Amino acid sequence: MDYEIKQEEKFKFIEEGSGEPLVLLHGLFGALSNFKSLIEYFRQYNKVIVPMLPLLDMDILHTSVGGLAKFVNKFLETRNLEKVHLLGNSLGGHVALVHTLKHPERIKSLILTGSSGLFENGMGDSYPKRGDYEYIRKKTELTFYDPKTATKELVDEVYSITNNRLKAIKIIALAKSAIRNNLGEELSQIQQPTLLVWGNNDTITPPFVGREFNKLIPNSELYFVDKCGHAPMMEVPDEFNAILHKFLKKLNEPATVN
């Protein structure tokens, strides 16, 4: 399904459905296709919003996790969004964490899946000679438990980014920023209910990373999904949606009095 891309000021975004806002932040090579099942399912219950993160459009000085977190804050302010359920995959999770630590007032809950911020195996510090399609295909396949999830369209998309010199430099700048901007004990300041959904076969942010987030974020719950890599919302969409729906429903249930 094609979605209308809306624009307000400098922000481009998709907005579907109504209800409490569920804002989705994609990762380094993320695209709308990553969230297709999630959008389709949750538009029945929430206002689902996907801002287009300017990963490759910021000037090189601001091409960082902090720069993206500022962008998200401005976006939420411009759209006047409150009681936001903020969901991030991979680098998007890292941006969601930094934003929540700096601006907790608009965030009702946090959802992280394969998030960076503590540890990640990236593409490496540098790319091989530009134009090595086979290398990019294998690296893209590593994102998933089932290599077939890395469709030709997805590989082509990653290849076109890495094959552009300026874009490749920005991707490396973001990857290095993610490694430098390592969150640790400060995660204990996050008070929002937090859902962690991790693939048991994630090789980029392995299962121990999910456990560490669970240990450091006070009000968090962790779910592992079998036969699943770094992007559960893509690889096991039905299971991911069921876990998230249960979490969001529980947040809106009135507290029981003993």
Pick among 3.10.28.10, 3.30.1330.40, 3.40.640.10, 3.40.50.1820: CATH of 6-120+182-249? 3.40.50.1820
Of 33, 195, 185, the residue nearest 107 (C-alpha): 195
SS3 sequence, the chain?
CCCCCEEECCEEEEEECCCCEEEEECCCCCCHHHHHHHHHHHCCCCEEEEECCCCCCCCHHHCCHHHHHHHHHHHHHHCCCCCEEEEEECHHHHHHHHHHHHCHHHEEEEEEECCCCCCCCCCCCCCCCCCCHHHHHHHHHCCCCCHHHCCHHHHHHHHHHHCCHHHHHHHHHHHHHHHHCCCCHHHHHCCCCEEEEEECCCCCCCHHHHHHHHHHCCCEEEEEECCCCCCHHHHCHHHHHHHHHHHHHHHHCCCCCC
Q: Give residue 18's pLDDT.
A: 95
For the four alpha carbons of 183, 187, 192 and 193, in that order, the dihedral sign comes to positive
Q: Give residue 60's pLDDT.
A: 78
One digit per residue, the tens of pLDDT, for the chain of length 258 reads 678 899 999 999 999 999 999 999 998 877 777 899 999 999 999 999 999 998 878 887 778 899 999 999 999 999 999 999 999 999 999 999 999 999 999 999 999 999 999 987 764 444 445 678 888 888 888 889 999 998 998 889 888 888 888 888 888 888 888 888 889 889 999 999 999 999 999 999 999 999 999 999 999 999 999 999 999 999 999 999 999 999 999 998 775 555
**Residue 185 Cα to chain centre, angstroms:** 21
Which residues pair with residue 84 across a beta bridge? 107
Q: Give residue 125's pLDDT.
A: 45
Total-model pTM: 0.92
Which residues pair with residue 112 across a beta bridge? 88, 196
Q: Give residue 129's pLDDT.
A: 53
Sequence ranges of the domains in the chain: 6-120+182-249
